[in-house]
A and B are shown apart, each in its own frame.
Chain A
Amino acid sequence: MTALLTLAKREYLSFFRTPLGWVVAALFLFLSGLVFSRAVLVPGEVASLREFFTLWWSLLAIIAPAVSMRLVADEIRTGTIETLLTSPAPELTIALAKFAAAAGFLATCLLPTLVYPAILFAVSRPDAGPMLTGYAGVLLLGWLYLAVGLLLSSLTSSQTLAFLGTLFVILAAELGAQQLAIRLPAPFDAAAMKLSVSIRVADFARGILDTRHVLFMVTLSAFFIGVSACVLRARRWR
């Protein structure tokens, strides 16, 4: 546990010790502010963050790879992976710590966005339930994307490649699922719909806390973290 906490702390703080973390956080807040002002803060519209959360999957598709790209790739590039993999910490601990740090950073980035519901509460009387489930959905989706990014980052020493690879996987999975849902006949279209995370996030934004959605995202995240640990383990067999 000491090793896990030590690793996660170093990784989390490194986001704030390097310009990359600040740039990513600034970009995230700028884009989320843009979405809020264009999609939510419109006179005459309902005081709800539903549109805001629904659009966030595309925002996270860019931000999550930027957060995760350096997690392992940078360790491989600088050679610090050698000190990491020769410590007693098992590969799963390393992968979990890296994921926890990135997940914590994403959650930290989300904190300033609480100003948006605060604004809505100041000017209107919105329903708090969908906002809470919306944030839960965004967090779960972000963590799933970070887990994908962790895996891609552990496969290469190039951060650029890790970023582009993660972006490609996220877009291919989401757009592919949407296209399949449109083109496939029943009942396959429904199965394809289940692969689309944006549809699941839309449910969260509507205030539905579906345990199937939660289980889907948590299981997939755990799967990608586990595979990342296996990739780290496989480095020893080169």
Chain B
Amino acid sequence: MIVVPWCTLILMIECRQLSKRYGSVQAVSDVSLQIRPGVVTGLLGPNGAGKSSLMRMMTSYLLPSEGTVTVCGHDTVQAASESRALIGYLPESAPAYPEMRVRDFVDYRAGLYGLSGLARRQAVATAMDRCWLDGMTERRIATLSKGYRQRVGLAGAIVHSPRVLILDEPTTGLDPAQILELRSLIRRLAAGGDSGSGSASGSGPGSPAAPRTILLSSHILAEVQATCDDVIIMTSGRVRASGTPAELISAHGQTRIVIELIVTLGQMPDVLAGELVAALAEFGSIATSLPKPTTCRAELLLPRGLSDSDLARCELAVAATASQLARTHRMLIGQLARQQATLEDVFMTVVREAGESPKHAAQHSERAQASMPTGTSGAAA
């Protein structure tokens, strides 16, 4: 007989028609979503999309203007204490008391969740170990770097072995190596490892072997792609798209073919670019540029929903057309490559389709590239 923990049978977080208004500003609007146990979910969106407001309603720091949130079946308004006991929360910028020592702060957080005695001491030691704070236990928080403060905040969030972990921009201030370590820690926590010895949530949802549910917001798209099982994209307070990265890429991503033609002396690259557009327009939308005086570059965006065989046929046809054009004008083909859509492309597309300012999305994208740790499977430009 297969024994299934009861908490894996119910949704860990469920939002129904959730809205939040600050005066006349609608921060979150009619959001309904479900997060399953043991799943790492990434919350993406440009600034002001309502990510933090949504997370704060899940933690019951803010109460909804309309709608409901339940955490492991507990309503965050009707059963606030029970739902809060199940959640570990790391707010943005990881606020802490600067005058406290690291160990005292983590111990204080454990006490807030009702841990005491040996279980508390073990939970504190485990949390500090998981967050690589072993050598910093006696340091005052005021003297720590931003990255270490982030770790202290994370240790405080996981010290009571919560079943649900909500992390608002958890990688802010971490260096690339630390981001990779955090990513690994998140995966281990989601799988049910590193449960620690102290569990404030007690029996049922707090049983150490049960997988954890993690919701994190991040502006690093590559990180979300590498860490998260599910992705939710928000803009203007609404959920615009959700699903696994593969599902999102399949539904919203567009494969592109990049062609670069090397122009010889005497030829007019802009005229050739026009001919390239005319020849390839039947395959999809095309944009051309002249990155160098001797190079004509075209990016052909193929339609959505093409199967792999359709894509292959399309690529062959485009290659044949480009070769024909190159032969006619005695040019060389510098590059002809198919690029799969990335989560970043999906994000940009969803934001654009939602009517958001492309500038915001572009800034988001630029930050993502700037923050991308070395060795990650990065989003293509």
Q: List A residues at the B interface (Cβ < 8 Å).
A: 2-3, 5-7, 9-10, 14, 17-18, 78-80, 82-90, 236-238
B84 & A86 in contact (Cβ 8 Å cutoff) = yes
A86-B95 contact in complex given A2-B111, A2-B116, A7-B112, C-beta closer than 8 Å: no
Chain A proximity mask over B109-121: 1 for CB below 8 Å, otherwise 0: 1011111100000
**How far apart are the CA atoms of A105 and B200 in the complex, in Å?**
30
**Across the two chains, which residue of chain B brings its CB closest to A94?**
B112
B236 CB–A CB distance under 8 Å: no
Contacts of A78 in B (CB 8 A): 95, 97-98
Stretch at the interface among B85-93, B169-177, B294-302, B318-326: B85-93
A10 & B62 in contact (Cβ 8 Å cutoff) = no
A5-B111 contact in complex given A10-B100, A18-B99, C-beta closer than 8 Å: yes
Distance (Å) between the CB of A105 and the closest chain B CB? 15
A6-B108 contact in complex given A14-B97, A88-B84, A88-B113, C-beta closer than 8 Å: yes
**How far apart are the CA atoms of A8 and B87 in the complex, in Å?**
22
**How far apart are the CA atoms of A5 and B114 in the complex, in Å?**
10
Which of B63, B91, B100, B112 is in CB contact (< 8 Å) with A87? B112
Name B's interface SS: loop
A83 & B114 in contact (Cβ 8 Å cutoff) = no
Chain A proximity mask over B60-90: 1 for CB below 8 Å, otherwise 0: 1111000000000000000001101101010
**How far apart are the CA atoms of A91 and B109 in the complex, in Å?**
16
Say which size band chain B's interface belongs to: 20 to 34
Q: List B residues at the A interface (Cβ < 8 Å).
A: 22, 56, 59-63, 81-82, 84-85, 87, 89, 91, 93, 95-100, 104, 108-109, 111-116, 156, 200
Distance (Å) between the CB of A7 and the closest chain B CB? 7
Contacts of A237 in B (CB 8 A): 62-63
Name A's interface SS: helix
**How far apart are the CA atoms of A88 and B110 in the complex, in Å?**
11
Q: List 6 A-B contacts (CB under 8 A).
A: A83-B95, A83-B156, A84-B112, A86-B84, A88-B85, A237-B62
**Across the two chains, which residue of chain B brings its CB closest to A16?**
B99
A236-B61 contact in complex given A6-B108, A86-B87, C-beta closer than 8 Å: yes
Distance (Å) between the CB of A107 and the closest chain B CB? 21
Q: With contacts A2-B111, A82-B89 known, what are 9 further pairs, Cβ within 8 A?
A: A3-B112, A79-B95, A80-B96, A80-B97, A82-B91, A83-B95, A86-B87, A86-B89, A88-B85
Which of B62, B89, B93, B109 is in CB contact (< 8 Å) with A236? B62
**How far apart are the CA atoms of A143 and B341 in the complex, in Å?**
65
**How far apart are the CA atoms of A83 and B88 in the complex, in Å?**
9
